[in-house]
Chains A and B, each alone.
Chain A
Amino acid sequence: MNWTWFHRLGSPPSFFRFAERLAPWLAGLSLLLIAAACYAGLYLAPPDYQQGDAFRIIYVHVPTAAISLSIYALMAVAGAIALIWRMKLAEVAVVAAAPIGASFTLVALVTGMLWGKPMWGAYWVWDARLTSELVLLFLYIGVIALNGAFNDPRAAARACAWLALVGVVNVPIVKFSVDWWNSLHQGSTLLSVDGIKNPKMSTPMLWPLLASLAGFYLLFAAALLRRMQNILLERERRAGWVRELMEASR
């Protein structure tokens, strides 16, 4: 199989064209999936036997919370690639992913709070999962703030990559320490060894969740590609390919 197309993606102009073609498809597909998940989750799925209709917030809460963690892992992997191979696109990915990660974390926190009020009787409790998600938000904000403090975008991206790498070692420690400190949040219904063999969720409740999970992942991918495109345009504004692009669009 011919892999040269993959190597070519490492250069900013070909990545830009690739993202330009791919992003609309990802965004469209994600909107379709999220719309279907919302309709099925809000109208077709039966109310929960304990939580009533309040459980329906999982169709937003669970995907955003899961993706908020994935994005940090992605940042760390991109950071390692940026530091080891000095690849420009990986640097751009670290910087581009941080604000998206922060937004997903914020949405997960807010939807969790809205669910917590009727279920636990309080918007906020100092529970382990809530606290570690809050710490995650601060970690994202740290990366964004660090990136903003530099004048040179390459030095900024490399500093952010180091911060993301040290942070990713730290995230499990934070998670573990706050678990040790206090936990009230329910365990995962979906992701457990037993849960895969005999699902604990009924099918009409489960498939909208999976659809929404896929939809939000695609939304993240589309947002990441678009943000990376914008950062590339700004970084390479003096390069020939950006000028040609601007001439062509005029």
Chain B
Amino acid sequence: MSLPRALGAVVGRELRLAARAPAEAAQPLLFYALVVALFPLGVAPNEPSLPVYAPALVWIAALLASLMTLERVFRNDYEDGSLEQLALAPLPLPLSVLAKLAAHWLLGGLPLVLAAPLLAAGLGLDAAAGRALTLALLLGTPTLVLLGGFAAALTVGLPRAGVLLPILVLPMLSPVLIFGAGAARAAAQGLDPTAPLYFLAALLALSLTLVPFAAAAALRNALEG
């Protein structure tokens, strides 16, 4: 099988699995919208400073929503043995990890990006800030999925990985949060958000090239142990 077809098969399998359980696939988006919707209930009605907190809030909700599902990204395959088949297949494991994470981003990351303009408007951000926030999420959520996927690979064989995963990965994601929310804040103040967006793109390029190898090695470690 040629390389593109093999990669397509891995991505297609993930998408088909998600299509068989559509309710489960919609959960992260629902969680994300709920966290954002509940936040204003905690402050005074029509609080004028809500737009100030909006970028941070949307980003925190996106971080939590994507980490929630990342625990499962390798778990089912590990338990039913298909992960071992993937590790034995001629397709290099870093590439299949990349394909799996890409599929995961399509299912769990892209909906968060698409919902962001709506949430930004609901929180009172102006159009320019909403655009910057959406673009930042588009560049930042893949990094989030990649680093989260690495942590999920480290903990795949462990019985109680649920709380461990955020502890491992959230400190590493602080740059994404800083630049992601920074872009929206800059735009809200009428400044140019290009610089933080470029930083987000640089982080994505770095994690896209390095993380799949680390994640594949972590998976092999879990399969050996």
Q: What residues of chain A have their CB less than 8 Å away from a CB belonging to chain B?
A: 83, 131, 135, 138-139, 141-142, 145-146, 149-150, 152, 154-155, 158-159, 162-163, 165-167, 169-170, 173-174, 176-178, 180-181
User: Is B155 an interface residue when CB atoms closer than 8 A count as contact?
Assistant: yes
Given contacts A170-B175, A178-B178, 15 further A-B contacts (CB under 8 A): A83-B217, A145-B164, A149-B155, A149-B158, A149-B160, A150-B158, A152-B225, A158-B225, A159-B154, A162-B218, A169-B206, A169-B210, A174-B171, A174-B175, A181-B178
Residue of B with least CB distance to A173: B175
Cα A203 to Cα B32 in complex, Å, equals: 57
Q: Provide the residues of chain A in CB contact with B170, threshold 8 Å.
A: 138
Tell me which of A141, A154, A170 contacts B172 (CB under 8 A).
A170
Tell me which of B154, B203, B210 contacts A163 (CB under 8 A).
B154
A149 and B167 contact, Cβ closer than 8 Å, known pairs A169-B210, A174-B174, A177-B178 = no
Digitize B164-186: 1 where CB-to-A-CB distance is under 8 Å, 0 elsewhere: 10011011101100110010000
A139 and B175 contact, Cβ closer than 8 Å, known pairs A145-B164, A149-B161 = no
Interface centre among B147, B150, B160, B175 (most CB of A within 10 A): B175
Q: Provide the residues of chain B in CB contact with A163, threshold 8 Å.
A: 154, 168
A49 to chain B, nearest CB (A): 36
B194 to chain A, nearest CB (A): 14
| 5 sampled A-B residue pairs with Cβ under 8 A | A155-B224, A162-B218, A167-B172, A174-B172, A176-B175
Tell me which of A145, A159, A162, A181 contacts B167 (CB under 8 A).
A145
Number of B residues near A (Cβ < 8 Å) is 31
Tell me which of B147, B210, B222 contacts A155 (CB under 8 A).
B222
B219 to chain A, nearest CB (A): 10
Q: Do B225 and A166 touch (CB < 8 A)?
A: no
Cα A167 to Cα B151 in complex, Å, equals: 11
B69 to chain A, nearest CB (A): 20
Cα A176 to Cα B154 in complex, Å, equals: 26
Cα A176 to Cα B203 in complex, Å, equals: 12
User: Is B189 an interface residue when CB atoms closer than 8 A count as contact?
Assistant: no
Q: Do B171 and A138 touch (CB < 8 A)?
A: yes
User: Is B221 an interface residue when CB atoms closer than 8 A count as contact?
Assistant: yes
A194 to chain B, nearest CB (A): 29
B157 to chain A, nearest CB (A): 8
Q: Do B225 and A146 touch (CB < 8 A)?
A: no
Cα A163 to Cα B206 in complex, Å, equals: 16
Q: Do B178 and A141 touch (CB < 8 A)?
A: no
* Interchain residue pairs A-B with the least CB separation, the first 5: A155-B225, A177-B175, A138-B171, A142-B168, A177-B178
Cα A176 to Cα B195 in complex, Å, equals: 14
